């Protein structure tokens, strides 16, 4: 796999061969996955939330993320991955 982050002028910003899936950027974050683990990257392709969660949901209005791990333990993170 090789994914690309491109800007509005269709210029390649970052090549990302590591991830299986990458969502669209939303407020500077994209959800990424590899081997059934999820995390988030920023617009520079830097991993800001490590690939360690079973599920991640971005709450649009609050800039918070709900996460759960393989043991179904859940929590809330900010956009920098802090609890």
pLDDT at 1 over 70: no
Residue 63, by phi and psi: left (phi above 0), alpha (psi -120 to 50) or beta? left
* pLDDT-based confidence at residue 60 (cuts at 50, 70, 90): low
CB 42 within 8 A of CB 79: no
Share of the chain above pLDDT 70, in %: 94
CB 40 within 8 A of CB 27: no
pLDDT at 80: 79
Say what the pTM is.
Answer: 0.78
Bridge partner residues of 58 (DSSP): 65
pLDDT in tens, 18-54: 888 888 888 888 899 999 999 999 888 899 999 999 9
């Amino acid at each position: 796999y090789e994914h690309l982050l491109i800007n509005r002028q269709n210029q390649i910003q970052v090549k990302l061969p590591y991830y299986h899936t990458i969502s669209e950027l939303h407020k500077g974050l994209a959800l990424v996955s590899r081997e059934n683990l999820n995390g988030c990257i920023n617009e520079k392709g830097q991993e800001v939330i490590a690939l360690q969660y079973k599920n991640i949901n971005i709450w649009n209005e609050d800039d918070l993320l709900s996460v759960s791990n393989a043991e179904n333990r859940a929590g809330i993170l900010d956009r920098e991955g802090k609890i």
